[in-house]
């Protein structure tokens, strides 16, 4: 059977984006990765550590996750994939986010571009969507501006960020445009918790959907109407907010464990009167493991 190009493009994106869940830097790419030449020009923080310039390995994880924002059903999803990390001075991949080029990289400010991905939903397994089209895998790509409020503190990090992303869906046969998202967030990280290589992460963020993103989740067309699912035209705007808590622990230089929880709050959504907007709060929990097979001898300071 001939494999479709969309499949390989999507798998490549997942391989690069998935390490964001396992990397010691939080999702969104707020971590610092410096080249050896760049380190020579600035003081070295007492809490900083050296990491390999590149790594190759496998990462696997999963969790009990809501089917979509404001869904009233959760399902178990998981994945295991090869991954690659590259910690260059101007280009980074897998170091806390998907591949990204650094347009601005200053002690207090960073502008980068990254990728994210999410699981599909089989509508036959969701009571609210039964009989509707499935929700496909989603890919998101776009710029992210990060303000680093504690740039001089090697132990505590506090960042404000604003991301804008284009959203694409794929069923491995092709891609479809699904709109735009805007995501403001605040993220706190505590490094070397309890004086071991344990990192805690807490984040609060909001999502706003435009140009079709909200329609993808909440609109009900004429063909999908039934007795308990009236026709509904979705509006752009506020989707909801999420609070995330996570831990990552480097058991050895080659093995890292990670896990976390996320609570979604959907009250006040632009589409809270949609028949597909089923719950005002959702809960997710997940975890996984990253195992590095190969790493460069050359080190860079994180």
> What is each CA distance from 87 to 32, 176, 243, 250, 301, in whole angstroms?
9, 31, 28, 18, 9
Average pLDDT taken over every residue of the chain: 82
pLDDT of residue 3: 45
Q: Does 238 or 44 have the greater pLDDT score?
A: 238
pLDDT for position 116: 76
CATH of the domain at 148: 2.40.230.20
List pLDDT tens digits, range 270-295: 999 999 999 999 999 999 998 999 98
Contacts for 269 with CB less than 8 Å, ≥ 6 apart:
70, 238, 239, 240, 277
**So what's the pLDDT on residue 24?**
39
pLDDT in tens, 82-107: 888 887 776 666 655 455 555 666 78
Comparing CA positions, the residue from 80, 69, 96 lying closest to residue 240 is 69
Asked if the model's pLDDT at residue 219 lies above 90, the reply is yes
Please check the confidence at residue 45 and state whether its pLDDT lies above 50. no
pLDDT at 220 (0 to 100): 98
Give the residue, 152 or 232, on which the prediction is more confident.
Answer: 232
28-42, 54-68, 142-156, range with the lowest pLDDT:
28-42
User: Can you spell out the DSSP letters for 60-112?
Assistant: EEEEEEESSTT-S-EEEEEEEEEEEEEE-SSEEESSSSSSEEEEEE-SSEEEE
- Please tell me the predicted confidence (pLDDT) of residue 43: 39
Q: Pinpoint the alpha helices (H) of the chain.
A: 5-17, 36-39, 213-218
More confident position, 153 or 273: 273
**Taking residues 192-204, what's their average pLDDT?**
86
Confidence of residue 78 (pLDDT cuts 50, 70, 90): confident
Domain of 261? 5-301
Question: Residue 33 pLDDT > 80, yes or no?
Answer: no
pLDDT at 134: 96
The confidence score (pLDDT) of residue 106 equals 73
pLDDT at 100: 56
Average pLDDT over residues 23-51: 41
Pick the residue with more confidence: 157 or 95?
157
- If pLDDT is split at 50, 70 and 90, which confidence band does 37 have? very low
- What is the reported pLDDT for 11? 54
DSSP at 224: G
Burial class (CB in 10 A: 0-12, 13-18, 19+), 46: exposed
- Residue 269 predicted with pLDDT over 70: yes
Give the confidence band of 201 by pLDDT, cuts at 50, 70, 90: very high
**DSSP state string for 25-51:** SPTTT----B-HHHHTTSPPPTT--EE
Q: How many domains does the chain have?
A: 1
| Predicted local distance difference test score (pLDDT) of residue 173 | 85
**How much of the chain exceeds pLDDT 90, in percent?**
53
């Amino acid at each position: 059977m001939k494999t479709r190009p969309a499949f390989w493009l999507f798998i490549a994106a997942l391989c690069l984006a998935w390490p964001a869940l396992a990397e010691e830097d939080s999702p969104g790419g707020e971590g610092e990765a410096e080249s050896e030449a760049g380190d020579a020009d600035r003081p070295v923080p007492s809490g900083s550590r050296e990491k390999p310039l590149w790594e190759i390995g496998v990462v696997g994880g999963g969790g009990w996750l809501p089917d979509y924002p404001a869904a009233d059903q959760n399902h178990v999803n998981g994945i295991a994939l090869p991954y690659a990390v590259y910690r260059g001075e101007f280009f980074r991949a897998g170091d806390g986010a998907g591949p990204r080029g650094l347009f601005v990289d200053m002690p207090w400010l960073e502008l980068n571009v990254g990728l994210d991905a999410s699981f599909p939903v089989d509508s036959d397994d969701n009571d609210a969507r039964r009989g509707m089209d499935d929700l496909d895998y989603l890919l998101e790509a776009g710029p992210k501006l990060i303000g680093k409020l504690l740039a001089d503190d090697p132990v505590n990090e506090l960042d404000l960020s604003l991301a804008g992303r284009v959203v694409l869906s794929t069923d491995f046969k092709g891609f479809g445009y699904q709109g735009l998202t805007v995501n403001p967030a605040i993220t706190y990280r505590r490094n070397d918790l309890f004086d071991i290589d344990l990192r805690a992460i807490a984040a609060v963020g909001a999502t706003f959907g435009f140009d079709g993103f909200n329609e993808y989740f909440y609109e009900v067309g004429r063909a999908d109407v039934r007795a308990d699912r009236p026709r509904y035209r979705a509006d752009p705007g506020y989707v909801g907010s999420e609070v995330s808590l996570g831990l990552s622990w480097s058991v050895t230089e080659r093995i890292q464990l990670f896990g976390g929880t996320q609570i979604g709050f959907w009250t006040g959504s632009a589409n809270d009167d949609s028949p597909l907007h089923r719950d005002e709060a959702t809960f997710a929990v997940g975890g996984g493991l990253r195992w590095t097979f190969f790493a460069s001898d050359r080190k860079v300071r994180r």
